[in-house]
Amino acid sequence: MKGNLFQALENILNTGQGVPPERAIEISKLNGVDLYTLFDLTNRMREKFKGDEINLCSIINAKSGLCPEDCSFCSQSVHHNANIDIYPLVNPSRIFDAALDAVKNGAREFSIVTSGKAITDKRELEAISTSIREMKEKLPMNRCASLGLMDMESLRVLKDSGLQCYHHNLETARSFFPEVCTTHDYDEDVEAIQVAKELGFRVCCGGIFGLGETWEQRVELAFTLKELDVDSIPINFLNPIKGTKMEEANHLTPMECLKIIALCRCVHPKRDITICGGREVNLRDLQSMMFLAGANGTMIGNYLTTSGRPSEEDLTMIKDLGLRVR
């Protein structure tokens, strides 16, 4: 059985076609030394389809806290009592300065992220548009935003300003979503992705693992992303934050995280896979193995309400692996 699975994974290198759901379930059941065979294959997939360049991205938490949604993991929700900074949308000069710092640290993409269900205030939309236009004029980087469930008209304004990529996570599988969020429907997230695709954005969409979902639900999410034909898949691992519903959660091990990355690479052999929040906490000393497992990108700098590690350490890690920053 394992021999047949590994042969099927070997065939991906020739066909470029990802595995079907039943093979993905088989991957989820691998353990022990078989994981190193899996990682050898996913590393070769990364090399064949993405080369030896690693994409680096960075973000700014441009509007923090007071989110009306009740996502169980999120420290910015008004339903939780996490100790975070709360502030309105920062001014465009602060966003530009953060983007400039990201460029200096090697990031090729910078995302403006805001809390809340969506940006609906026209003044806020114009301020974000101003930031995007300035980035387009002055900085050699891809411009991204993560602003929630935006309507087509507002997204078109941002696209006309120079926005290239839109980020919106599904967070988890449809079957598990009611355990994670009850204040909006899964179809609203799906529609946001479809609207962004229709407008011609490069769409970045993934989820967060370690919420208590099963392996079958992880596979379900991977194939939902495939059906939506997303361009880039950000993988987050839960970093439990005190004051949230998930503060006591402890569902992941470093090897399980690596297997999640490998699973996504086998389903999406040609897509960008970027490891984002929670990697330091969950991968620990195995962070460099995320590229062996199939990732071809990572987020550098700080996250929304938690700190990352110094970008110099990530740049050194990439160099030491014989890889290059894109």
Q: Tell me: pLDDT of 58 over 90.
A: yes
Q: How confident is the prediction for the chain on average, in pLDDT?
A: 95
Q: Give per-residue pLDDT as tens, 106-119.
A: 999 999 999 999 99
Is the Cα dihedral 283, 289, 291, 294 positive or negative?
negative
Amino acid in position 205: C
Q: Which 8-state DSSP code applies to residue 242?
A: T
User: What number of CA atoms fall less than 13 Å from residue 300's CA on the CB side?
Assistant: 27
Q: Which helix (H) or strand (E) holds 55?
A: strand 53-63
What is the mean predicted confidence (pLDDT) over 250-255?
A: 92
Q: Which helix (H) or strand (E) holds 209?
A: strand 207-209
Q: Tell me: pLDDT of 251 over 90.
A: no
| Listed residue (307, 313, 259, 249) closest to 283, CA to CA | 259
Q: Tell me: pLDDT of 307 over 90.
A: no
Domains of the chain in sequence order: 19-325 (3.20.20.70)
Residues ≥6 apart with Cβ < 8 Å to 266? 9, 12, 18, 19, 23, 24, 27, 41, 42, 45, 294
Going from the C-alpha of 179 to that of each of 116, 193, 219, the distances in angstroms are 19, 21, 17
Structure tokens at 233: 């898949």
Q: Supply the pLDDT for residue 310.
A: 87
Residues ≥6 apart with Cβ < 8 Å to 182? 70
CB 293 within 8 A of CB 247: no
Residue 144 to residue 175: CA distance in whole angstroms: 29
CB 131 within 8 A of CB 91: no
| Listed residue (219, 191, 170, 194) closest to 71, CA to CA | 170
Q: Supply the pLDDT for residue 119.
A: 94
What is the mean predicted confidence (pLDDT) over 237-247?
A: 93
Q: Give per-residue pLDDT as tens, 118-173.
A: 999 999 999 999 999 999 999 999 999 999 999 999 999 999 999 999 999 999 99
Q: Supply the pLDDT for residue 1.
A: 57
Residue 44 to residue 28: CA distance in whole angstroms: 19
Dihedral (Cα; 169, 94, 102, 253), 10-degree rounding = -40
CB 238 within 8 A of CB 73: yes
